[in-house]
A and B are shown apart, each in its own frame.
Chain A
Amino acid sequence: MKLIKRLGQRDYQIAVISIIVAVVLAYWKPYVLVEGVQRSCLYAAIALPMALILGLVGIINLAHGDFMMLGAYLAYWLNVYTGMDPFLAIIPALVAFFVIGIISYLATIKHVLGEEELIQLLLTFGLAMVLQQIANLLWTSQPRKIILGYVSSSASIGSFSFGTFEFVYVAAAIAMHVGLLLFLKKTRLGQAALAVGQNPRGAKLVGINVDRTYLIVFSISIALVGAIGVLFMTRHSIFPMVGGAFTMKSFCLIAVAGMGNIAGIIWVSLILGISENFVLSFMGYAGWADIIFFALIFLVIIIRSHQRRVR
């Protein structure tokens, strides 16, 4: 599996096309572009940890979005009971979800690593249901939201004004992307993780503790997605089922980008986020925005299976 690749000719073509689309959109519907970029960065930030687990541990975690949901609730209750600012809550969330990641790995994921994919899917689906229902039992299905003053800050260019707070998601996505690349390339643990992802048996032969690497990669990813949940909570209302859609969309991004292509996730999330906002901008058709990711994944499956047949 290749996580880091150099830019090829195709990437430049994609970049040129996206710049043209961006310029057209900036003239026609500037808010679609700005809000689309903010939205897509949220998607990318949620999808990256999932891609890390899928690429290195080899497990598709259907409970991914639900860990994010729990992170959002953690920040919510910290804010309600102690008045803690959500941005400060990122630190306890990272710690708490690292521990939660360790526990879920040791209790469940570890035991199905060698099993067939079918068993793994069933297990993580069960995990997702348990997390959702725990939240439902403890905090009911009523949507919750806190009002923060700085969330509604805005800036304007000419007559066009837009929210600036949501650029937090852009920052988060960039930080996570750069952080992951640095982790995988520069640290010993990251290099070991890459080696394990490429070939677990080979990694074991050269003396890497495969089991511990899996544990750490899984826990780091859960910690990251918990922290993103904290950011998610600042702007969106939360309820126990909120994570499910993000699991699906994250998988869509990973599948469309191709397994193990981290840079591709950013591109695909831009496509998804901007086209969703494009649909949302038409009055009366906004409800259809949630169908786009499905169309995208369907299209890619058709193209992939066609390519396979040609080959």
Chain B
Amino acid sequence: MRNWRYLVYALAVIVFMTLPFYTGVYLLNVAGYILIFMTLTLTWDMLLRSGQISFGIYGFFGVGAYTAVITFLDAGVYPLFSIFLGGISAGLIALVIGLVVLQLRQLYFAIVTLALGGIFMVVARNIPELTGGPEGRVLPSTIFDGDPTKTYWLILAVAFLTVIISNLFQKSRVHFAVTSIRDDEIVARSSGINVFKYLVFLFSVTSAIQGLAGGVYGHIYGFASPEGSFDLNFVLLPMAMALLGGIYTTLGPVIGAMLLGSISEFLKLLMPYGHLLVYGIIIIVVILFFPRGIVGTLAKRFQKKR
């Protein structure tokens, strides 16, 4: 059983790595787009496992994009390193916010993070010397001069990194600490788990990855602007993907992202203005009717049969 699982992993890795060799540019772009959202979806779910919702994905995503673009343009930092800096800056901001807000959990945390994106947007608009104001900043050329294969591999690397971190968390003591916090915080506290420390750590790490994804996005599309980088899509879509696939697992968000990501490509063509409506409806329907998502529901059925 165990070996079989590793075989599937290896096969998936090979398929993803070699994708550029047998698909066209369009499909490669779509795959890259889906992988970026898969990264966001996984990081969102990783924090959700502790019982905290962060609506701040789009905020940290935008911070990463801005940091990468600005450090590249103004400080002349090498692109890949500027993406890394994007992740670092998002992580640091999350650390500060987490130290303050995670004292009061769930409701307060969720709403403060929901406000974050808007706040970052105000900041980005009002320091035109640095951020270019409402127009944002534009790169002279995209990363790797727009080579689709290399950009795809860059996105893939970030996505793999996220999957690996998510899996490591699932297997380490972080997982047990986090799950016990979600199930019963008082019990977790009295068994000697430093709840606050784990939550701040988790929030910083997931936000840093979101910033990393944002940096990649900024370099691939070659710009950072208030509306484009702090877009509510970057929280709505990952939430819908994670819920559809099944929360609290690594597999669920991955499957949800692939499924909904492919569907969204058709939806965008079908209804260019209202396709976000579908994601909102998916969130509501999943919560009301099958809160465990696809993976959870299937797993339950599978267990029953056995």
A and B associate in one complex: yes
- Is A123 within 8 A of B277, CB to CB? no
Task: Specify which of B52, B107, B110, B280 is in contact with A129 (CB 8 Å cutoff).
Answer: B280
Within 8 A of A (CB), among B224-277: 232, 236, 239, 243, 271, 273-274, 276-277
A288 contacts across to B, CB distance below 8 A: 122, 126
Within 8 A of A (CB), among B139-196: none
B103 contacts across to A, CB distance below 8 A: 301, 304-305, 308
Task: Specify which of A136, A137, A291, A301 is in contact with B100 (CB 8 Å cutoff).
Answer: A301
Q: Does A11 contact B (CB under 8 A)?
A: no
B52 contacts across to A, CB distance below 8 A: 118
Nearest Cβ in chain A — how far from B282, in angstroms? 8
Task: Specify which of A112, A133, A140, A251 is in contact with B277 (CB 8 Å cutoff).
Answer: A133
- Is B107 within 8 A of A290, CB to CB? no
- Is B273 within 8 A of A136, CB to CB? yes
0/1 string, A272-311, CB within 8 A of B gives 1: 0000000000000101101101100110011011001000
- Is B288 within 8 A of A123, CB to CB? yes
0/1 string, A111-153, CB within 8 A of B gives 1: 1100011110111011111101110110010000000000000
A308 contacts across to B, CB distance below 8 A: 103
- Is A118 within 8 A of B279, CB to CB? no
Task: Specify which of A117, A118, A137, A244 is in contact with B118 (CB 8 Å cutoff).
Answer: A244
A221 to B233, CA, bound (A): 29
- Is B283 within 8 A of A121, CB to CB? no
Q: Does A75 contact B (CB under 8 A)?
A: no
Q: How large is the interface on A (under 10, 10 to 19, 20 to 34, 35 or more residues)?
A: 35 or more
Q: Does B281 contact A (CB under 8 A)?
A: yes
Q: Does A245 contact B (CB under 8 A)?
A: yes
A126 contacts across to B, CB distance below 8 A: 239, 280-281, 283-284, 287
B118 contacts across to A, CB distance below 8 A: 244-245, 248, 290
Task: Specify which of A129, A248, A290, A301 is in contact with B101 (CB 8 Å cutoff).
Answer: A301
- Is A125 within 8 A of B283, CB to CB? yes
Q: Does A154 contact B (CB under 8 A)?
A: no
B276 contacts across to A, CB distance below 8 A: 129, 133, 136
Task: Specify which of B126, B236, B283 is in contact with A287 (CB 8 Å cutoff).
Answer: B126
B243 contacts across to A, CB distance below 8 A: 122
A245 to B100, CA, bound (A): 22
15 inter-chain pairs at a CB distance below 8 angstroms, sorted by A residue, are: A121-B107, A122-B53, A122-B243, A123-B287, A127-B284, A129-B276, A130-B277, A132-B280, A137-B274, A244-B118, A285-B126, A294-B112, A297-B111, A301-B103, A301-B112
A residues whose Cβ falls under 8 Å from a Cβ of B: 60, 62, 108, 111-112, 116-119, 121-123, 125-130, 132-134, 136-137, 140, 244-245, 248, 251, 255, 285, 287-288, 290-291, 293-294, 297-298, 301-302, 304-305, 308
B residues whose Cβ falls under 8 Å from a Cβ of A: 48, 51-53, 55, 100-101, 103-104, 106-108, 110-112, 114-115, 118-119, 122-123, 125-126, 232, 236, 239, 243, 271, 273-274, 276-277, 279-281, 283-284, 287-288, 291
The 3 closest A-B pairs by CB, nearest first: A126-B283, A137-B274, A305-B103
